[in-house]
Amino acid sequence: MNTLFLPAWLGGFAAVALTALSAEPLPAPLLPPAHHAVAGTSRVVITAEVLAGLAAELRTNHPALRASAARANAAQLDAAGVRRFDDPTFKLGGSVSSPRGFKTEEEGDLVYGVEQKLPLLGKETAARRRAEAEAATAETRSEARFESLRRELARAVFASALAESVVQSGAEDLAWLDTTLAATEARYQAGTTSQFELLRVQNERAKRATQLANDELRRDAARALINHSLGREPRTPLPAFELPALADGLAFSSALTDLAEQHAPDVRVLQRELATAAATVESTRRSQRPDVALGIEGRQFSGDGGFRDGLFTVSLSLPWFNRANYRRDLERDRERLHAVAEDRADVLISLRNEIHHLTVEAETARREGLLYRDDVLPRSEQALAAAHASWSGGRGMMNDVLEARRMRVDAKLMLARATAEQWSILSDLAYFCGLPDATALAASVPNPSVTAKPSLP
């Protein structure tokens, strides 16, 4: 089975049970009131409510999200700060008498004035729309970053539940080996079994004890990964997450791809970037228009302070001398718009392929889980019981007992691995469809090919 969606160090493990009991208190923000906790323990079944509580803490504590929120706020302030009127220009100057007849006492030797650009040709409006589009893009990027981190958090939670299952399965197997070792030692003392069988059981018990210690380290690492995502200390107590049951099937459909094409975070970001690029093209197009300014000037004589003259002016910039440069700027921004449109088309193609791939992988994991849950594990339990009974009665061999025990352990691990992988894939599908979890995915995508939809308990 494909283990792409699980951490590499967990790729060879899985199980159906949950981790050992923990008496440490549970952080209050982690579990909403509707969580499914196992009575008398701190074991918690992964539910939509549990994931939502973790996501809420993620949003407030993760530094990457705080940084993206700050950038979005900065973009909003930038859009709000776009000026409709430029700052007015104040002019101050003077003149001297001319030997040809200009007299400062008559015309005035102090010249002053104010000039103000007028927003007449839409350049300022286009600039504001561009800034508003950039602000909307920054906000969408921030939300997409949150959804990406929420997806990673959900996968980490399922990986932690898998690690807990590995530890619990190892603890159960170690307890079984302790009981079997005690029985083997008693039989060896009575002379009804060989030293080879005793040494073999002792080796199996020693290997399992070491493996269990290593699995506990990996479980602690999985918990630390969740704490890091939540901005906590790595050793902050966490509950023992328990995997939910296998989900029902989810078939590939056009409704699923349509939902993804409309709401996938990457698609939403590119849609905003497309609007920003279009606003940039419009702003660049309007930048070719001339600037119109209205001014007023006055003259007075410094000798007596008397006002001599005043006039009104209208000025007009002449952008036609740079027509070729403006045209190149416009062509540049149009190419950028075209590039974003092509990027969006490429993402949509990749998205359809990814949705199809994930639905196939989810169904593969489900079928494998059903195989081990309904067929392999029950038969392995029966085989172990029969082999152990035969060995206890002196008719069987320890080799058969240990082989049956290995089959049972492998079946439990493979069932848990398939369960964790299926839910991780469903979380990925929910992310690509812009939904918080697989429960929302099941509610949003009709699936007539199955009688029940995947949902967290």
Q: What is the pLDDT of residues 342-399, one digit of tens each?
A: 999 999 999 999 999 999 999 999 999 999 999 999 999 999 999 999 998 888 899 9
More confident residue, 21 or 31: 31
Mean pLDDT of the chain, nearest integer: 84
- Residue 85 within any structural domain of the chain: yes
Q: How confident is the model at residue 301 (pLDDT cuts 50, 70, 90)?
A: confident
pLDDT score at 100? 58
- Residue 165 within any structural domain of the chain: yes
CA distance 59 to 436: 13
pLDDT in tens, 316-341: 888 888 889 989 999 999 999 999 99
Which of 11-20, 31-40, 67-76, 408-417 is modeled with the greatest confidence?
408-417
- Residue 376 within any structural domain of the chain: yes
CA distance 312 to 115: 10
CATH code at 51? Answer: 1.20.1600.10
Which residues span the domain enclosing 22? 8-444
- Residue 3 within any structural domain of the chain: no
- Residue 451 within any structural domain of the chain: no
- Residue 453 within any structural domain of the chain: no
- Residue 201 within any structural domain of the chain: yes
- Residue 334 within any structural domain of the chain: yes
* Order of all β-strands in the sheet with 36-37: 36-37, 43-45, 240-242
User: Mean per-residue pLDDT for 282-292?
Assistant: 89
Q: Domain count for the chain, please give it.
A: 1
| Residue 223 in this model has a pLDDT that exceeds 80 | yes
pLDDT score at 93? 80
What share of the chain has pLDDT > 70, as a percent?
85
